[in-house]
Amino acid sequence: MHKVMRGYIRAVDAVNYRLGRLVMYGIFVMVAILLWSSLSKTFFTPTLWTLEMAQFAMVAYYMLGGPYALQMGANVRMDLFYHTWDDRRKAWFDAFTVLFLLFFLGVLLWGALSSTAYALGYFGRDPLAFYGDLVWSFVTGGLAGASEVLGRFERSPTAWRPYMWPIKVLMTLGIFLMLLQAMSEFFKDVLRLRGEAA
């Protein structure tokens, strides 16, 4: 069992570390968008897309960088007593509190899956059935088969009216990766409590 836990930790940490290192440069994308917004408003015709695109870039940066921040211990903690505890007590406390995080992320993931299904044109109550049909249609009929399952795509109500599914897919992916990273942190705490290295 400990081999499985260590393998899981190595795999999830490697994926989230590499993705986090890549996504951290997304701040420059957001700065470039906001710089262009300022320049276009000052010297040219103001553009409609810059503010919303900056928001999308920030959401992608935040959601995909979250698992990396959790892995590096950069998340915010209420550190009134925690810093004075020994490593074993910290591991007990972290192993207990991560269960609340896992529950919260599970609920958040369900909401993200439902919202993404809505953005892809599904208006029913069972998003997992929609995704199953979508994958099956893609496997059996390719893109043409998948397009039969997809409905009318959700668009933003702003003047620019971008499609919402790309950012919702990224949000869902970020929540899923955060869920995997939280489980990795739980396994690390369990191994620490057993006196073993992760």
The answer to the question of residue 113 being in a domain is yes
The answer to the question of residue 116 being in a domain is yes
**What residue numbers bound the domain in which 47 lies?**
2-76+85-193
Both tokens assigned to 191: 């191994």
DSSP per-residue letters across 34-83 = HHHHHHHHHHSPPPSSHHHHHHHHHHHHHHHHHHHHHHHT-S----SSGG
The answer to the question of residue 68 being in a domain is yes
Nearest-Å Rg of the Cα atoms of the chain is: 21
In order along its 198 residues, the chain shows pLDDT tens digits of: 788 989 999 999 999 999 999 999 999 999 999 999 999 888 888 888 888 999 999 999 999 999 999 999 887 777 788 888 888 888 899 899 999 999 999 999 999 999 999 999 988 888 999 999 999 999 998 888 888 888 889 999 888 899 999 999 999 999 999 999 999 999 999 998 888 776
- Identify the pLDDT of residue 177: 98
CB neighbour list of residue 180: distance below 8 Å, 6 or more residues apart: 12, 15, 16, 67
The answer to the question of residue 198 being in a domain is no
Number of domains forming the structure of the chain:
1
Q: Flag whether the pTM goes above 0.85.
A: yes
